[in-house]
Amino acid sequence: MTAKTPDSTIINALSQTMGNISTAARKLGISRTTIHTRINQSSDVKEAYEEYREQAIDNAESALQRAVLNGDGWAVCFSLKTIGKSRGYTERIEQEITGTHTIKIENLKELSDEDLKDIITNEPNTQIKLE
């Protein structure tokens, strides 16, 4: 397309491609960057893009649900690892540590500047006790 591609044309292409920007850009003969720019500039294009992406996710979830109901092992496993992880179906344990904790440093001179920087930047809620 030449000149400025109308929002309605971009929205139509995004509708046909379920929000796939690369495919929509190829259909229109414009760059992906052009569509990304328009998404950022036009609330109508942005709203349409987000809606089509949500529909694509809904379709994927429906396909996954059909596969689970069909007894496909990969789908059952994937579902348990993701939506079932609150019930313990996970291969790793996630822990969130909140509050503050203390690091006891007996000899500050043993720590390099890099060590101190790591403590401060990686442990923002750490209280340091010097003894």
Task: Give the mean model confidence (pLDDT) for residues 69-74.
Answer: 95
Answer yes or no: is pLDDT of 110 > 80: no
**What is the DSSP pairing of strand 101-105 with strand 126-130?**
parallel
The overall average pLDDT reported for the chain is 85
Tokens of 24: 């929509």
Residue 130 has pLDDT above 60, yes or no: no
pLDDT of 93 over the 80 cut: no
- Note the pLDDT of residue 108: 67
- CA 100, CA 80: separation in Å to the nearest integer? 33
End-to-end CA distance of the chain: 71
Angle, CA of 45, 46 and 51, to the nearest 5°: 100
Query: Is 67's pLDDT higher than 60?
Result: yes
Residue % of the chain over a pLDDT of 90: 58
| Mean predicted confidence (pLDDT) in 89-111 | 70
128 pLDDT band (50/70/90 cuts)?
low
Q: Residue 2 pLDDT more than 60?
A: no
Q: How many CA atoms lie within 13 A of 25 on its CB side?
A: 13
List the single range of 7-11, 31-35, 84-88 with lowest mean pLDDT.
84-88
Quick check: 118 pLDDT over 90?
Answer: no
